[in-house]
């Protein structure tokens, strides 16, 4: 009997906690900012991979000019 009562109270407590967790919106903004920053990082990395050959050519030209080649 006591075990059944404890299980019912535990289930009720778990349900209340789950409802509070779902309704809680703290931290949502932070998560949104992290997602935006992640998308921006992927975009920057993709653009760097596209311009890497051009940057290497510029660096090689500067190196050749400095070394007098």
Q: Which is nearest to 23 in space by CA: 34, 15, 31, 35? A: 15
pLDDT at residue 2, rounded to an integer:
66
Q: Tens of pLDDT along 1-41?
A: 667 666 777 878 788 888 888 888 888 888 899 999 999 99
pLDDT at residue 60, rounded to an integer:
94
pLDDT band of residue 42 (cuts 50, 70, 90) is very high
What's the pTM?
A: 0.46
pLDDT at residue 41, rounded to an integer:
93
């Amino acid at each position: 009997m006591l075990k059944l009562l404890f299980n019912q109270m535990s289930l009720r407590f778990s349900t209340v906690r789950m409802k509070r967790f779902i309704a809680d919106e703290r931290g949502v903004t932070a998560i949104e900012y992290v997602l935006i920053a992640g998308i921006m990082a992927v975009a920057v990395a993709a653009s760097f991979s596209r311009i890497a050959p051009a940057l290497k050519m510029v660096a090689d030209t500067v190196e050749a000019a400095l070394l007098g080649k």
